[in-house]
Amino acid sequence: MRGKGLIAAAISIAVVLGTVPATTAKPKHSRIESGKGAGGVNLGLKRGPITVRKNGKVRRVNTVHSMLGKPQRIDHFPRDGSTFGEKKLYGATYSDDELFVYFQKRGKNGRFDSKVDAYDKVVGVTVFSSRYRGALAPGQAFDDSNGPCAPLDKRSAPGGGPRRVFACKYEPPSDTAVDVVYMSAGAATRAEQQISQTTIFVPLIGEAVFQALLAGALEDLDCETIAC
Mean pLDDT of the chain: 84
Distance, in Å, from the CA atom of 227 to the CA atom of 218, rounded to the nearest integer, reads 10
User: Tell me: the pLDDT tens digits for 117-137?
Assistant: 999 999 999 998 989 998 899
pLDDT in tens, 84-111: 545 688 999 999 999 999 999 999 998 9
Average confidence (pLDDT) over 168-188:
92
How far are the Cα atoms of 64, 107, 132 from residue 54, in angstroms, in the given order? 21, 22, 35
Mean pLDDT of 185-202: 95
End-to-end CA distance of the chain: 19
Residue 140 has pLDDT above 80, yes or no: yes
At residue 155, the pLDDT reads: 87
C-alpha to C-alpha distance for 59 and 191, rounded to whole angstroms:
50
pTM for this prediction: 0.84
Confidence of residue 174 (pLDDT cuts 50, 70, 90): confident
Residues 158, 183 contacting (CB under 8 angstroms): no
25 pLDDT higher than 80: no
Mean pLDDT of 156-173: 93
Pairing of strands 41-42, 51-54: unpaired
The percentage of residues in the chain with a pLDDT greater than 90, rounded to a whole number, is 57
pLDDT tens digits along 33-84:
888 999 999 999 999 999 888 888 888 889 999 999 999 999 887 655 445 5
- pLDDT score at 57: 84
Contact between 102 and 122 (Cβ < 8 Å): yes
- Give the bridge partners for 20, in sequence order: none
The residue-averaged pLDDT of 8-16 equals 47
Question: What residue spans define the domains of the chain?
Answer: 5-221
- Cα 41 from Cα 28, distance rounded (Å): 11
Q: How far is CA 14 from CA 11, 45, 105, 120, 191, in A?
A: 5, 20, 19, 19, 24
pLDDT value at position 72? 93
pLDDT at 84 (0 to 100): 53
Tell me which DSSP letter residue 121 carries: E
Residue 9, pLDDT above cutoff 60: no
> Could you say which DSSP state residue 145 is in?
G
Per-residue confidence band for 16, with pLDDT thresholds at 50, 70 and 90:
very low
